Structure 1
Amino acid sequence: MISIRVHEAAKQLGVTPRTLRFYEEKGLIQPQKAPDNKYRSYSEQDLTRLRWIISLRELGMPLSTIHETISRMNETDIFIRNLDSARAILYEQWVTATKALKALDETISEWQRSRNPGLERLEHAADEMKRTRMIRASWSDQWNYDEMALLHGYDTPLAALQGVLEEDHYYEALIRTVEWLDPVSDELGLELASGSGNLTALIVQTGASLTAVEQSAELLAIVRRRLPAVDAKQGNLLSLPLAAQSFSFIACSFAMHHLDHAQQEVALEEMDRVLLSGGRIAITGLTTINVENAKQQADWFRRNGYSVITESLNSASQLVFASKL
């Protein structure tokens, strides 16, 4: 078995010996040490582990997460879950940086044109970014969907809606959501807050190519096992880990009632960001928890250039369908 010293290992990996010792101090790697002089030696397995550590660190994953990730690489769900989380954080940072760059570019352009531009545009952009950051920070899973998923599996959405929406009305609402969206085979679509994949499965049956976003790691694992062809990603409605203008349609069922008014506006902004021009959105929600939700959503869409239709599905739920003009 090949074994090399710290300086040679560092050279092969493109880092410094100090970096390797730092990873050792943090418990990420445990090289063999000679009993007489304590010289470190690295095996092929050590080098492979270090390659993982270096790559994940370069991609922005915290050391604490790296430790858990590489220690549990044989547990596929845990490994993917940690990568999901790191990806979601990185994407939120990228979206924020993109907005900041746009604001700075606009300020530079104004300065070049007038040599004495006002601060209003820059201040507005900064205020909007601060507002969005604070709203995103206010999000938390108060309902512990991970635990619910472990208890109820595929039936988690029904368990969450127990006493609020009858089972037959729930499935009728999902079917109606798909009918309004009318996906075309191979069309790129997005489902938000996919839960255990009940609506996801109906959309996939149409032949559409679907990406599903879900904040609960346990529910996401169910979707991946149930529908392996779906591109499932971890994220929440306030920060979608997706590129702008990517999807022809968006579906969201029985999730928006978890958000307050300010959070809903950020969620709608995120939907608009990732939707293609001419795309469509169907949001199915409860009327029993907040009867104003559907009206507020419809008003937001109209203000932002959408045509809107609303439909009462039953005594407890309503659908908002919006087309991006």
Structure 2
Amino acid sequence: FSGKMGEGTYAGQGTLKMNGLTPASYDFSLTADKLDIESDFFKGPLSGQLRVNNDKFFGLELPKISGQIDLADCTISVPAIPNSDGELPDIILDADVNVGDRVHAYSSYLYDMYLTGNVHFGGTTRHPKTSGSVSVKRGGTINYLKTEFNVREGTAYFNQVDSFLPSITFLADTRLTQAKVFLSITGPLDNMTFTLKSTPEMSQSEIIRLLTLRDAYKAGQANLDAGDLLIVGLQMSFLSEVEDVMRNMLWLDRFTIARGSGSAFDTHDEESNKAIDVYHVEMGKYISDKVMFKYTQQIGGDDTHRFGLQYDMNDRFGLSLEKEAQKFIVGLEARIHF
């Protein structure tokens, strides 16, 4: 059989031999070429080859799924981890997932980043044996307490025993008026540990109050009550919904609303801004495979805005040129592992 899905195509074939009413042997294959998929968790073309046949595993005859799935030019959002006591059917695995160019991982509540890497799934569905990793390219962000953190290093290692879930290592930071805050996320995906540190040094509870209260904290009102928590929760949910709608409506690759001025220069007056809750909107659109046009606009402050271009030389190096007021910002970003 064969067919089309949007601009993509698929084709399949196979054989099945029966022994009475029992399948004696089977061998099916499916090839997909840029299937046009749109769902809550995946949008974009999907390509790959999959094969299902019967095979032996330590003397047991089981179904086997093998092949590869190629991801490129797509947007993915990792769904919630299912909570179920049921057991998967026992199936042999020998499949690869290749994360190629322009794979955009996006969730308005949590993250906005581009990924690269390769993962192999072996073993069986009940006792999986995984290997490989998926890393964040330069320029990724994590949203925590409606504060945007820049990801300096982020990798999901598929190395856990008897589990499909990876171990996460994320290091990110953000600069506020009062301090520079560092966020680390480590551990298995279903049991991650969040750690906050800062310069100058503060306790984790103080950093959380700083991230949530901002100006009230600066003015010495550092107690976090139920009303504050409700306001923060409403901001996170409401603004995240707005981000999703605007990003899709304007066909942008990046649309983020975050707290803070968004300025590249520390020019605002702390005393005059005590009563102002300042936000900024950051927008970005790739005008070619490697060039993104960026625009940042302050809301609730002194109307600061910045615009410019970001050029991704490769996954490790990038250049940027932006203009804010009458000043130009020239940036060189490099990621070096040692």
Taking structure 2 as the reference length, the TM-score comes to 0.25
- Determine which structure has the larger helix proportion and give its number: 1
More relative contact order, 1 or 2 (CA 8 Å, 6+ apart)? 1
Taking structure 1 as the reference length, the TM-score comes to 0.26
